[in-house]
């Protein structure tokens, strides 16, 4: 009888794991099923480009069903609702259409081994008004919603000299990259006939509660990124805590109002709240599933977690950082030890390897560092070299999904599209 592996969540880690398992074991005694609420996959680090129109998600997205068919695993549409650890069943919520009519009923999937890769959502830390007045960038739908708001705001400002004010809370990678990309969008819109869409009427405020931007990266990289942003015209405000959000703007802890027409909250992450409904599995204060160094959940040897939803300990006492490279490494670790996992054996501890971090400032610059196996210690890079390395990270993700030949062809198509398609998605 085939062993059943169910992977919930088709993000970078979950989709790579399902693809690799399907290719190698899908026709050899292993039944691999991937579950996701969406029909298509888009690499999450690209969402800020979708939000500004620099990337057309309709071109770059990947169909889960096509990927499953090509790589010998199954795909099921659904949202995780709960599980029964004794029966080894995972429950999916009913699927409804836009009018609320039920398309698929609540379903149960049997598993021998369950991998939870459900990612993360934005953490507004309970700030009053944040959920009502700010845009989050957790999904393609939210990124597209912001893009439509941005285009509408530029249309309104075309008949008025009033500046377009955009405030971004959180100066991590998403906030920093979005800030730069907005200035690129402003310049491109000018060439497409949007009046007053140049950089002068655009006011972008990047607000960080901590002492500096990019707190997860070395201080010299953060300093270089801040210099580039301020050269573009971004107002960078560190050590500024937001206590409330209103329709008019952001209210700081010192009762200052930062007025804004559009507001984005990118200040932190937490695992989706469904982790509280998973039959008593241990979670931490950010809803993340607590796992052992082998990525097993602490209370069930048949359930694993990877990526942003997993709180995986490191030797220094902290947890593995929520990055795309972490999810990729975790997926590779579980892939290597799948047979031992299915037999209930202990597997080696996962060891996080930091290969460095890169931050793209749109077409203006890229800064970052290379670490680990790539260099001895840490080496700061910027400019064209950093941009090439940044792009290669996405190509590596595509190679894990498509293989080398298809990735080369996809890259070629991307180059052709740059010639024949608009530089921005304008509708």
Domain regions of the chain by residue span: 3-120+271-342, 124-265, 356-420
- Give the pLDDT score at 371: 57
Residue 129 above 60 pLDDT? yes
- Give the pLDDT score at 375: 42
pLDDT above 90 covers a percentage of the chain that reads 68
- Read off the pLDDT band of 376 (50, 70, 90): very low
Nearest to 181 by CA among 314, 327, 48: 48
Count of residues for the chain? 427
- What CATH superfamily is the domain 3-120+271-342? FAD/NAD(P)-binding domain (3.50.50.60)
Nearest to 233 by CA among 407, 361, 144: 361
Give burial (CB, 10 Å; 0-12/13-18/19+) of 116.
buried
- Dump pLDDT digits (tens) for 183-201: 989 888 877 776 655 545 7
Q: In whole numbers, what is the pLDDT of the chain averaged over residues?
A: 90
> DSSP assignment of 209-267, as one string?
SSSSS-TTS-HHHHHHHHHHHHHHT-EEE-S--EEEE-SSEEEETT--EEE-SEEEE-S
- Range name among 67-71, 98-102, 125-129, 218-222 with the lowest pLDDT average: 218-222
**Count of other CB atoms within 10 angstroms of residue 131:** 13
Residue 372 above 60 pLDDT? no
- Give the pLDDT score at 379: 61
Strands 80-84 and 74-77: unpaired
- Give the pLDDT score at 86: 97
What fold characterizes domain 124-265?
A: FAD/NAD(P)-binding domain (3.50.50)
Nearest to 246 by CA among 344, 323, 134, 135: 134
The residues facing 336 across adjacent strands are: none
Cβ-proximal residues to 416 (8 Å cutoff; 6+ apart), any chain: none
The residues facing 236 across adjacent strands are: 206
346, 165 contact by CB (below 8 A):
no
Residue 370 above 70 pLDDT? no
pTM over 0.75, yes/no:
yes
Residue 377 above 80 pLDDT? no
Strands 89-92 and 80-84: antiparallel
- Give the pLDDT score at 385: 67
Q: Examine domains 3-120+271-342 and 124-265 and report if their fold is the same.
A: yes
Terminal C-alpha separation, the chain:
51
Torsion of CA 108, 110, 115, 117, to 10 degrees: -20
Strands (E), 300-378: 300-305, 310-311, 356-361, 365-370
């Amino acid at each position: 009888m085939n062993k059943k592996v169910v992977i919930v969540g088709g993000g970078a880690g979950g989709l790579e794991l399902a693809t690799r398992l399907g290719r190698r074991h899908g026709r050899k005694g292993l039944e691999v099923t991937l579950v996701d609420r969406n029909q298509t996959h888009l690499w999450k680090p690209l969402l800020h480009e979708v939000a500004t129109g620099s990337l057309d998600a309709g071109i770059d997205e990947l169909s889960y069903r096509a990927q499953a068919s090509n790589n010998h695993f199954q795909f099921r549409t659904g949202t995780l609702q709960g599980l029964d650890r004794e029966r080894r069943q995972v429950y999916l919520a009913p699927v409804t259409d836009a009018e609320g009519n039920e398309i698929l009923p609540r379903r149960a999937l049997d598993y021998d081994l369950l991998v939870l890769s459900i990612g993360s959502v934005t953490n507004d830390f309970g700030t009053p008004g944040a959920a009502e007045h700010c845009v989050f960038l957790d999904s393609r739908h939210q990124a597209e919603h912001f893009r439509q708001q941005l285009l509408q705001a530029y249309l309104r400002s075309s008949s008025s000299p009033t500046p377009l004010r955009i405030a971004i809370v959180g100066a991590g990678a998403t906030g920093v990259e979005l800030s730069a990309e907005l200035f690129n969008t402003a310049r491109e819109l000018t060439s497409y006939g949007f009046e007053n869409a140049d950089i002068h009427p655009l006011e972008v405020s990047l607000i960080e509660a901590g002492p500096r931007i990019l707190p997860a990266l070395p201080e010299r990289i953060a300093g270089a990124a801040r210099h580039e942003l301020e050269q573009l015209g971004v107002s960078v405000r560190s050590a500024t805590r937001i206590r409330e959000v209103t329709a008019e703007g952001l209210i700081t802890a010192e009762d200052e109002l930062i007025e804004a027409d559009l507001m984005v909250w990118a200040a932190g992450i937490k695992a989706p709240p469904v982790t509280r409904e998973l039959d008593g599995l241990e979670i931490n204060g950010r809803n993340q599933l607590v796992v052992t160094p082998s990525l097993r959940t602490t209370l069930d040897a048949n359930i694993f977690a990877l990526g942003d939803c997993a709180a995986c300990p490191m030797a220094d006492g902290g947890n593995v950082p929520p990055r795309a490279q972490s999810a990729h490494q975790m997926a590779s670790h579980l892939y290597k030890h799948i047979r031992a996992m299915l037999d209930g054996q202990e597997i080696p501890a996962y060891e996080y390897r930091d290969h460095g971090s890169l931050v793209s400032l749109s077409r203006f610059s890229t800064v970052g560092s290379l670490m680990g196996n790539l260099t001895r210690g840490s080496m700061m890079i910027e400019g064209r070299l950093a941009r090439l390395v940044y792009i290669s990270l996405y190509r590596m993700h595509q190679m894990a999904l498509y293989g080398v030949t298809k990735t080369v062809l996809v890259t070629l198509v991307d180059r052709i599209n740059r010639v024949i398609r608009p530089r921005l998605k304008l509708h």
